[in-house]
Amino acid sequence: MSHKLLLLLALWLLADRAAYGQGASADSLARKLNRYQQAALSEKLFLHLDRPLYLSGETMWLKAYAVDGTSGKPLPLSSVAYVEVLDKQNHPVVQGKIPLKQATGHGSFLLPSSLASGVYTVRAYTSWMQNFGPEYYYHRSVTVVNTTAASGSVATRDTAGYDVQFFPEGGNLVQGLSSKVAFKITAKSGTGAAATGKLLDQNGTTVASFQTLRFGMGSFTFTPAPSATYTAILTLGNRQVIRRKLPRAYEQGYVMHLENSTPTSLTLSISATAGQPEEVFLLGHSRQQVAVATKALLANGRATFTLEKKQLLDGVSHFTLFNAEQKPVCERLYFQPPHDKLAITARSDKSQYANREKVSVDLATTASASQHLEANLSMAVYRLDSLSTASTADINSYLWLASDLKGIIEHPEYYFTANEPDATTVADNLMLTQGWSRFRWEQVLATTPVAFPNLPEFNGPLVRARLTQAGTNKPLKGILTYLSSPSRIIRLQNAVSNADGLVQFELGNLYGSREIMVQTNPQQDSTCRIEVFNPFSSQFATTLGEPFAPQLRFKADYAKRHFQNQVQNAFADKAKNRYTEPPADSTSFYGKADETYFLDKYTRFKVMEEVMREYVPGVMVRIRKDGFHFLVIDRPNKAIFEDNPMVLLDGVPVFNINKIMAMDPLKIQKLEVMASRYFHGSAVYSGLVSYTTYKGDLEGFKLDPRVLVQQYEGLQGQREFYAPRYDTPQAQQSRLPDLRNLLYWNPAITTSTAPTKLDFYTGDQAGRYIVVLQGLASNGLSGSASFTFEVKSAL
């Protein structure tokens, strides 16, 4: 019997393995990736900054574009973009919440006048993007010069070492299998360094020679021998020699190699060591949209896939090889430049202007077929000098290349415009050295959907908080929690804590710096500790920015910019902080009240109890052992509620009615009553009584000490860009100096099928000025343009 049982067990195992083999298909991998893509919608941000260099105390202007990471089309998912300027220790020097409407938004930062000279990082992200790591945020380096200290500084030579990294194609070196190895040499500044080199084995024998091609990148091919170790010897242009060990080679595994076999096709070759399962799967996706899903059988440890380039979307594509158990074993990136882009045609009416002269600019946006295309643009005009020579980031190269790779891409525009024979090889080296994936395959292949802690913010910022038991930090579940901000516009949010003690509130369009108050009903819960989370990300990507080194030869330029800035601050300082107030909905969250009393229309009593008894028939005042209670008349049901209503003072819940009754009624301007049961989020109120003070600031009312009061920075208001217009003789003859470095900033340009005209005026500074435009069309085409003009002072 035992032999029969063993035979049956063996047959069952074989049948189960066969069934698994039939179920494990390339299509199942594609379905899992599609399922993940639908849950993990890809969102990207691009910022157009007005200039690459600023002085401390100047204003930084910005325009944000939000796009779908797969299609490149505008994505109206999030209503808030979090923008920060970070120093080299990743400490924020300024932060702001930029409101997004229909996938665009604009804002500004007044850089502190005390800000030290240096290279700073501007980064931007949404709440949803925080689910996928800081590498996915938008990053841009800018230079800030503090001219009160920089004009006499002398640059110090950077003697720090170089960063050298090696990247085997597909992921790993495998003994006995020929492998392509890419390498990158980076200076401390983050730019690539040229070098030549050779690869030596442990016996000192040269097995490969190589050199960089562009931007410090190159590649070579060799076959690792069993039990061998390898050292690369690199010689830099300054004759400095660097020695680096290669990654170790594994005894078993797979190697992947991708070739541009024809102008229209790719060949992907697979090699494997003996003993590996014969069946392999290949999944190719372009920004999470499946392009290729197929399988092959290894013959003598080799397999080949031929892929048509037209199967791939524009931009960066990933090819991942899976073994028979559907575990990823190799990955490779490929870049296909976009076939189309948004063509922006921009020109001024003249190439040379006098001081305070009108400049007219004609704009047109077209697709590649020269058809006019509506687009959303932003435009900056600033003076070029020796301090602002850095190139501006361009939206097309960022969205289709830089945003899908890890780290800083040196001259990303090269990969879109280069026509030299080595351009394809340079792009391939970039894919090999700076590959990165927005997700981990463990998340895609998991049997249960991934839970994302940060939700999209559809209607303004979300405030997240945690409730714990005082003294134990144990999460409190099922606690009704309230959030409010004192104001004459009555707003109140509530939420119930989940199993982790988490609650979140949707604030809507709350602008500026405000106090928020988070509390629970102390009569229902008196041991609650509340912690409000910082909405800004606490995770940081590794970035290598060029260190700031003021040059002595630019001393005169520093002094000139310092003088110009001081003059502008003296004569145009009032124009810096003009804000456009967003339209505010003054309706209370409960809508129109059943009863409204403006107390100035009545005889004013000095005691709140008299006010309630004499003027508010919809609320009955009762005194019990614990003090005052309100009983609201339920008009629809012609009854009286037995419980206290929700009582608000300037929108803040007050659960101790004795405190309200002790308040001076002369501080109250308006009183409103909801004379029915009111359903509000997770709460149900037995009526509602709302008091509003004249200023909406609680008028010194002392809150319960258990209420968490915290300063909160809401959405950023829209600062107006100030530019004088010299369109009258009086303005032309004004004796106020105009030494603006930034002549014009317009973040809200919309083109149509007809050319668009814009105009602005030059100032009093002669020199060369550059006009920079960035734009995005509704179909996902993006583009940029720039041109220069001269301003000459009259003799």
Cα–Cα dist 393/139, whole Å: 10
Q: Which domain holds residue 208?
A: 173-250
Query: Is residue 210, in this structure, part of any structural domain at all?
Result: yes
For residue range 159-183, list pLDDT tens digits in order.
457 899 999 999 999 999 999 999 9
Cα–Cα dist 324/533, whole Å: 44
Q: What pLDDT does 389 receive?
A: 67
HSE of 707, CA atoms in CB hemisphere, 13 A? 18
Cα–Cα dist 313/290, whole Å: 10
Query: Is residue 527, in this structure, part of any structural domain at all?
Result: no
Res. 287 pLDDT band, cuts 50 70 90: confident
Q: Which residues pair with 620 in a beta bridge?
A: 631
CATH number of the CATH domain containing 204: 2.60.40.10
Query: Is residue 422, in this structure, part of any structural domain at all?
Result: no
Q: What pLDDT does 544 receive?
A: 54
How many other CB atoms are found less than 10 A from the CB of residue 555?
15
Query: Is residue 208, in this structure, part of any structural domain at all?
Result: yes
Cα–Cα dist 747/773, whole Å: 10
Query: Is residue 259, in this structure, part of any structural domain at all?
Result: no
Spatial contact of 297 and 279, defined as CB atoms under 8 Å apart: yes
For residue range 682-736, list pLDDT tens digits in order.
899 999 999 999 999 999 999 999 999 999 999 998 888 988 999 999 999 998 8
Cα–Cα dist 512/708, whole Å: 19
Query: Is residue 122, in this structure, part of any structural domain at all?
Result: no
Whether pTM > 0.85 for this model: the answer is: yes
Q: Quick one: what percent of the chain has pLDDT higher than 70?
A: 92
Q: Is the pLDDT of residue 266 over 90?
A: yes
- CA-to-CA separations, 396 to 339, 371, 584, in angstroms, rounded: 12, 19, 36
HEC readout, 142-208? EEEECHHHHCCCCCCCCCCCCEEEEEECECCEECCCCEEEEEEEECCCCCECCEEEEEEECCCCEEE
Q: What pLDDT does 560 receive?
A: 78
Spatial contact of 486 and 515, defined as CB atoms under 8 Å apart: yes
For residue range 432-476, list pLDDT tens digits in order.
999 878 888 988 998 888 889 999 999 999 999 999 998 888 999
For residue range 637-690, list pLDDT tens digits in order.
999 999 999 999 999 999 999 999 999 999 999 999 999 999 999 899 999 999
Res. 753 pLDDT band, cuts 50 70 90: confident
Burial of 187 from C-beta contacts in 10 A (0-12 / 13-18 / 19+): middle
Q: What pLDDT does 471 receive?
A: 83
Q: What pLDDT does 556 receive?
A: 74
- CA-to-CA separations, 576 to 57, 308, 404, 514, 630, in angstroms, rounded: 11, 55, 37, 22, 50
Query: Is residue 198, in this structure, part of any structural domain at all?
Result: yes
Please count the structural domains in the chain. 1
User: Across residues 565-569, what is the average pLDDT?
Assistant: 78
Query: Is residue 191, in this structure, part of any structural domain at all?
Result: yes
